[in-house]
Amino acid sequence: MPDGTPRHTADDSSVRLAFDQGTLLLSGVARNFVERVWPVDLWTYDPRGDNRTCGMESSNRDSSVRHWRTDALHYDRVRDDLKRALSSTQVEDDVPAWHQIHFPRCDLHAPRPDQREAIDSWMERRRGVIVMPTGTGKTEVALHAMVRCQCATLVVSPVRDLMYQWHSRILAATGIDAGIIGDGVHRVSPISVTTYDSAAMHMPRLGNQFQLILFDECHHLPGAMRQDAARMSAAPFRMGLTATPDRRDGNHALLDELIGPRVYTQAIASARGKTLAKYDVHRISVHLSDEERSRYEALGRRVRDYIAERRKDEPDYDWQTLCSESGRDPGARSAMQAFHAKRSIEDRAAEKLRIVEDLFRLHAGEPVIVFCGSNAMARDVSTRFLIPCLLSHCRKRERQEILMGLREGRYPALVANRVLDEGVDLPEVNVAIVIGGGSGTRQAIQRLGRVLRKNAFGRACFYEIVTAGTRDEQRSRDRRRDEAFKK
């Protein structure tokens, strides 16, 4: 502890817990009290006075009073620990700014047995992550839990489209016109919706206004900045929803701290043919033309030769170093350009388009989504087959019009890169064609989930078109390491 920290025992009549800029401030206690109640290094001593932070007039407080500070995330634990250490009359808890609310109505279907199990498992502690495949009704589970909790709630989603979907679902199910925080709107209500980025930005001011915080697609939360949305919230009730909790960087382990443990898990394989449609997975290999293969190999040699040349003087020179130098070193930049050109050949092999054409003929009359690994390939497919193309920069109105056209049958298919991988509600579709993408299993499972909702078209088909003899094959194997892709 820094020199000068108070060492006297707590003045029990003036113990105060407050919320300030995404943190908890504990005043009126001494170092020996903090170390006795919290043996772990939970608190940081803050030698600054509290006139500025707690919003009280200097005449009412002694400017020599000091604080202990910790993330607002720990409010539930700190409150319980203080109750055990002191009587309730000795603690002034100024943190909660939330209230119980009443839902005007609850227009929700009775939950299925698996949904009820997920709800009940979460309600036992009102903290934790629910893992359910896309299409099994995670939103319904969350809405049932919200209605049962009857408390101020903030729903956090990864993108604006999903934020507005939550707003519509809450209005339809409960009659509440939820507040919107994000996309140029700042209307805060006891029930509100926002995005991860907006939540991280505004949580220092809003972190004590919601008793329940719900993170949709919560695998996004452990990002470096986004996790602040959880750390700066004092909400004691926390729910995470996801179909794919694991992250390649291993930071999914942080979800236990930020939200709570996994309280319910349902695999796609267990829902296959029950709550989800029966489906088939097909992998189709294509080959590069002689011209494509010659250029592909030449570009690969350029990258390998550059790295080998650099290793003559720098034995530890590796791919990460090349990436870091590509912005300032012409040689590294040229090698990086060769790598991306090589990757583009894998992704945009001409034979892939011929297979897509065959699959369109095979599934004539059925709505189809084509998933690409790049905007360039998505445009290739769009112009070749005259179908709409959805990319990340498409405006909200354009996205809605295209999805409505697919739903109404005006468009037989659409092509997208990433933008439809998760979250967004889609029309009834039972055919997905994947012709490129990252190597992550999560993306593959999210794309599979896009076609697994039961509908009038019956059995679903998931096709993956892979360029043989390239890294595309390895990426395909990496994407399909999950039980969901086994026969």
pLDDT of residue 49: 52
Q: What is the pLDDT of residues 130-139, one digit of tens each?
A: 999 888 889 9
The stretch 5-14 carries a mean pLDDT of 49
Best CA proximity match to 16, nearest among 52, 59, 69: 69
Cα 42 to chain center, whole Å?
Answer: 27
Portion of the chain with pLDDT greater than 90, in percent: 58
Six token digits for residue 25: 């401030």
Residue 23 banded pLDDT, cuts 50, 70, 90: very high
pLDDT (0 to 100) of residue 116: 96
pLDDT number for residue 440: 67
Cα dist. 77→37, 81, 231, 260, 399 in Å? 11, 6, 13, 13, 43
Query: pLDDT over 70 for what percent of the chain?
Result: 91
The DSSP string of 125-169 is TTEEEEE--TTS-HHHHHHHHHHHH-B-EEEEESSHHHHHHHHHH
Mean pLDDT for the chain overall? 87
Q: Which residue, chain included where needed, has tokens 């739903």?
A: 407
pLDDT, tens only, 407-454? 888 999 999 887 776 656 677 788 999 998 765 677 777 787 777 777
Q: What is the pLDDT of residue 52?
A: 42
Q: How far apart are CA 103 and CA 105, in angstroms?
A: 5
Check pLDDT > 80 for residue 61.
no
The pLDDT of 163-183, averaged and rounded, is 95
Question: 161-167 — which CB contacts under 8 Å span 24+ positions?
Answer: 161/396, 161/399, 161/423, 161/424, 162/216, 162/217, 162/423, 162/424, 163/193, 163/194, 163/195, 164/193, 164/396, 165/423, 165/424, 165/425, 166/139, 166/193, 166/216, 167/193
pLDDT value of residue 444: 79
Query: Between 150 and 456, where is the model more confident?
Result: 150
Q: Tell me the C-alpha distance between 447 and 417, whole Å.
A: 11
The more confident residue out of 35 and 59 is 35
- What pLDDT score was predicted for residue 168? 94
Question: Which helix or strand (DSSP H or E) is residue 414 part of?
Answer: strand 413-416
Phi and psi of 242, rounded to 5°? Answer: -165, 155
> Is 6's pLDDT higher than 60?
no
- Which CATH number, 3.20.20.70, 3.40.50.11890, 3.30.2310.20, 3.40.50.300, labels domain 279-287+349-485? 3.40.50.300
* CA distance to 41, 75, 342, 390, 461, per residue, from 434 (Å): 48, 45, 19, 15, 11
Mean pLDDT of the 253-265 span: 96
- Could you report the per-residue pLDDT of 71-86, keeping only the tens digit for each? 999 999 999 999 999 8
Q: What is the CATH number of domain 113-266?
A: 3.40.50.300
Distance CA 184, CA 313 (A): 53
Residue 476's pLDDT band (boundaries 50, 70, 90)? confident
Could you give the CA distance from residue 367 to residue 451 in angstroms, rounded to a whole number?
Answer: 10
